[in-house]
Amino acid sequence: MNEHSTTLLVLGGGPGGYVAALRAARLGVPTVLVEGQALGGTCLNIGCIPSKALIHVAERLEQARALAADSPLGIRSGTPTLEIAQAVRWKDGIVKRLTGGVGALLKKAGVRVVQGHGQIVDGKTVDVTDAEGRPHRLRCEHLLLATGSLPVELPGLPFGGRVISSTQALSPAALPRRLVVVGAGYIGLELGIAYRKLGAEVAIVEATERVLPAYDEELTRPLRAALERQGVVLHLGCSVQGISGDGAAVRVRTPMADEFALPADQVLVAAGRRPNTSGFGLESLLLDMNGRAVKIDDRCRTSMRNVHAIGDLTGEPMLAHRAMAQGEMVAELIAGHARHWVPAAIPAICFTDPEVVVVGQAPDAAAQSGVDAISASFPFSANGRALTLEAPEGFVRVVARRDNHLVLGWQAVGRGVSELAASFAQSLEMGVRLEDVGGTIHAHPTLGEAVQEAALRALGRALHI
């Protein structure tokens, strides 16, 4: 068995793991990264990036179809067709380019990458069998767990055959004529909308009474209206009981306890994700747990000395940018820097149509925390740039303390609002007040003007509404 010792051993090469490895190596910390599959983890290979690529294909196809119809822009084009195999090849090309870039960065930084399945022996030892079948024993001073998450599998709908997870949905060999999506969270809605635009008949089954049930109703109302316009059929307040006997439909129970069959060529289960805690010997460490997630403190330390954990393994919010920020922090701590985890807010984005952004507290959350808050919205129907983009639906909303006007949160729904997330998060980190935002000159014409107008409206002096 080949043996190697290092200061930092990172188990998992997803966004959190590879960022931690890069930062540590650049700070002079000897680092080894173990990854059993492709560098970049779920996000880069079968999550964030490929899903956005597929969404882009769907949007372009929808636009082309609109131009073939009676477009108000005066543009006329022929009826488009979709070659799904080429679309998947294009998506895979982007993924390959980015994963190759991650590998090159790690090599340049001096990180030793071991491709293979890691098995924890103890808090300072991991055994790995590499791609060639050679055994390695890796010893470390610090062990960083960054194993990510897995799709939740429902008891009555095990993956296989017609029942797929988001992984299979991102690489379709052919488009199903009828797709049933189980779950109206961001994964189900993003992929459901994309498949609808690509030409499939899409029905979404959700156990609660709303789409995106984790967000407030005012924010999701424009999205629900858009889903209905796009022809996505919603079955809210319903539960899936399993597949019909002939395998051609999903059995759905209504709130009234009635049951009906929903025809389906494919069933996409998008019922969330769970921390990946099995199959690599985590249980041998006897770490304190927070439900199914590994429990950590404000420095991402577990209950075992010099064993750290980041990202989806540590629970919600399961977001790549959270994992990356945690990974960078852990690397700096190991290098001797003083750090702890105190972000003012972590942006959450749904790349639906329209997009939804949430940063910081919504009005209800502020009220529940006992804060006397004010909120105000500015509609994109009064924003010139939104109108020129044929995107008048949606709004920007700000939440602030009533007494000193400190901004507590931002929310937005509309086309392209994902690009506002950075300014939203930065404003909370900087501790801005409504007067700061309202007094900042915003470029015209941009969607960002709605941010300024929302702040001004909260102050009682909006200009364009």
Q: What residues act catalytically?
A: 444
Pairing state of beta strands 348-350 and 307-309? unpaired
- Tell the residue number behind the tokens 């945690």, with chain if given: 326
User: How many of the other CB atoms lie within 10 Å of CB of 226?
Assistant: 18
Torsion angle in degrees (nearest 10) through CA of 247, 55, 428, 459: -100
Radius of gyration (C-alpha) of the chain in whole angstroms: 24
- Kindly list the distances between the CA atom of residue 109 and the CA atoms of 9, 78, 258, 276, in Å, as whole numbers in the listed order: 15, 50, 60, 28
User: Contacts by 58-63 with C-beta closer than 8 Å and gap 24+?
Assistant: 58/193, 58/194, 58/195, 58/196, 58/197, 58/198, 59/197, 59/353, 61/197, 61/198, 61/199, 62/197
Sign of CA dihedral 77, 81, 83, 89: positive
Cα angle 289, 292, 298 (rounded to 5 degrees) comes to 50
Of residues 366, 365, 359, 463, the one with CA closest to residue 419: 359
User: How many of the other CB atoms lie within 10 Å of CB of 240?
Assistant: 23
Sheet harboring 249-253: ordered strands across?
239-243, 249-253, 259-263
Both structure tokens of 101: 């870039």
Both structure tokens of 259: 């049951």
Q: Please tell me whether the peptide bond between 155 and the residue prior to it is cis, using omega within 30 degrees of 0.
A: no
